[in-house]
Structure 1
Amino acid sequence: MVDRPLTLMAVHAHPDDEATGTGGVLARYAAEGIRTVLVTCTDGGCGDGPGGAKPGEPGHDPAAVAAMRRQELEASCEVLKVSHLELLDYADSGMMGWAANDAPGSFWRTPVAEAAARLADLMHRYRPDVVVTYDENGFYGHPDHIQANRITTAALELSGLTPKVYWTTAPRSMMKRFGEVMREFGSDWEEADTAGSAEAAGAAEPAAVPEMPEIGLPDEEITTWVDTTAFGGQKFDALAAHASQGENIFFLKMGKERFTELMGVETFVRVRDTTDAPVPENDLFAGLR
């Protein structure tokens, strides 16, 4: 029997990522008395500025954006009842191909060993039983998400700890449903102007942005389906706390009821386990309690 609380550690790239992919499990497990630790790797400075100003446009001040997003992150954590927020505070690297990828201090440019050592220190402090981050492609190819996967993997090795480890994902069946709902609300699911965005943000070679692999996994490859329906309102409110990025948070357009209907289950792939809990499972802490 452990003499400390069961602990979930979620390692995310930017302010607002915690709500999008894991807001439900953070809220659910906090309500169940589990200690929840959120590690946010970057300052979010490549997010939208006032009036939706993009990086490199007039009115976009990365330091001011980062300060605003920190306030929003703290508000989101309050909504989700996150026990501990830890900030690595690297500079946001922007989308793949942006000049910000190689800017001094960017997370993408930071040596994995350096950031992993800092994360390993946090792992030693909190001794998580479950660690959640992104897959090796960062779910959708974002450099900071990819780097979060890399430093989490390295930090686990450095720490010598053996928590259950999960990568966030989405079932392909749900991705199809996302597309239907987005079109219903006037968005084009197929449209992805990554190269244009890179050019606007000062990328030298926007055309060189690699093609993104298909998002999500076939349903049968997903190991863990966690029902967070009861916490859909909290997850929605946590996303809404990131108001400065509202233009990019499509889900806020649909209202709490539709949002909860669509986002009431969070899905994961279990990539490390010592409990032998059978899969598919419906609890990240299966085999631990």
Structure 2
Amino acid sequence: MTATPPHRLLLVHAHPDDESIGQGATMAKYAAEGRGVTLVTCTAGEMGEILVPELEHLAADREDRLGEHRQGELANAMKALGVSDHRFLGGFGTYRDSGMKWHEDGHAVAADEVHENAFWNADLTEAASHLVAVIREVRPQVLVTYDEFGGYGHPDHIQAHRVAMYGAQLAAAPSYRRDLGPAWDIAKIYWGTISESRMRESLRRLRDAGDTTSFEGMEPDGQLPPLFSPDGDISCEIDASEYVDRKLDALRAHATQITTDGPFFALSNNKGAEALGREQYRLVKGVPGELGEDGWETDLFSGIPAN
């Protein structure tokens, strides 16, 4: 029988690759430290854009087998990060990627046509109950998901936020669905984010190095999308710089979605560990723990006794 790790983190993401982009370094760090890391992915990313020409036949408008392929990519990414506990919400194929389109203001919105089984159409209580079962089994002290806008407006990110927040609330109610296990109250909930000041610093380095294409449309002193948070809203920064190589390997595993000449790899070549190895979070439930020099926590589990 495997011993339960004294500290346990649960992450709720919409599609394969979201986890590696947002919290890959944190996941690798905690897994290496022996902390429990559980990832719940809500869809298989069936509607994703395919960046590998020889795999274009897998697209939704052709063979519609991209989800199966991305399931394998995600498994490889988890191996790179050292994470062994990964589940699809409700089981693989329960919810389908909803797709999206770009609004004229530059953020994502729901597509004009959405599949009947799309995650965007999911019954909230049903979907949250699938998560309740995981929460009561794993008993995480910390949950990480998106903010209410899903970072950039993608309908599946927004729905993942709703499911995570409602699922956490239902999991703590002793009288709710006793068949799913004993109630469990998650001590701290964070929304993943990116520091505005950190991003501006990275952009400045890229532009000074002559890179004018990575993160096109963003400038060091210009307006940034809502994906980035003012430093005053940030509660925690994990310095996982020594695990950047694992994060990069996980990003490479998502080959249909991320290219090695894309913006993340540009950052990795530009004072890389500092750019990609520091991941920020907003605390939305719970009490802040010990603060570091920047006035932010340096550990998501800070202030939480191991149990």
TM bracket, shorter-chain basis: 0.7 to 0.9
TM-score for the superposition, normalised by structure 2: 0.78
Question: What corresponds to 1:37 in structure 2?
Answer: 38
Q: Structure 1's 97 and 227: CA in aligned 2 closer, same or farther, altered over 3 A?
A: same
Pairwise CA RMSD: 2.7
More helix by share: 1
Query: In structure 2, what is the equivalent of residue 215 of structure 1?
Result: 227
2:97 to 92, 105, 113: 92
Gaps in structure 1 of 5+ consecutive residues:
193-211
Partner of 1:250: 263
In the other structure, the counterpart of 2:193 is 169
Q: Which amino acid aligns with 1:251?
A: F
Give 3-state SS (helix, strand or coil) of 2:65's partner.
Answer: helix
CA change 1:65–1:4 in 2 (3 A) is same
Q: Distance in 2 between matches of 1:47 and 1:114?
A: 25
8 Å contact 1:48–1:60 — kept in the other structure?
no
Structure 1 position 127, deviation (Å):
0.7
Residue deviations 1:240-266 (CA, integer Å, cap 9, x gap): 101111349531345567432311211
Whole-angstrom CA distance in 1 between matches of 2:205 and 2:65? 34
Superposed displacement of residue 189, structure 1: 3.4
Query: 2-side partners of 1:83 and 1:32: how far apart?
Result: 14
TM-superposition CA deviations, 1:181-206 (whole Å, max 9, x none): 565434263549xxxxxxxxxxxxxx
- Aligned equivalent of 2:240: 228
What SS does structure 2 have at the residue aligned with 1:245? coil
| 8 Å contact from structure 1 (residues 232, 256) kept in 2 | no
TM-score, structure 1 as length reference: 0.83
Identity value in percent: 35
1:28, 1:189 → 2: CA distance?
A: 26
Partner residue, 2:282: 269
Q: Which amino acid aligns with 1:235?
A: K
Count of paired positions: 265
Distance 1:146 1:164 in 2: 20
Alignment check: 8 A CA contact 1:26 1:82 kept: yes
Structure 2: 5+ residue stretches without partners: 101-108, 173-184, 219-223
Aligned ranges for residues 192-207 of structure 1 at < 5 Å?
none
**Aligned-partner Cα distance in 1 for 2:154–2:186:** 27
Is the 1:182–1:189 Cα contact (8 Å) retained in structure 2? no
Alpha-carbon distance in 1 for matches of 2:263, 2:11: 23
Matched-pair contact (CA < 8 Å) for 1:233–1:256 = no
Match of 1:209 in 2: none
Relative to structure 2, which stretch is displaced further, 154-163 or 178-187? 178-187
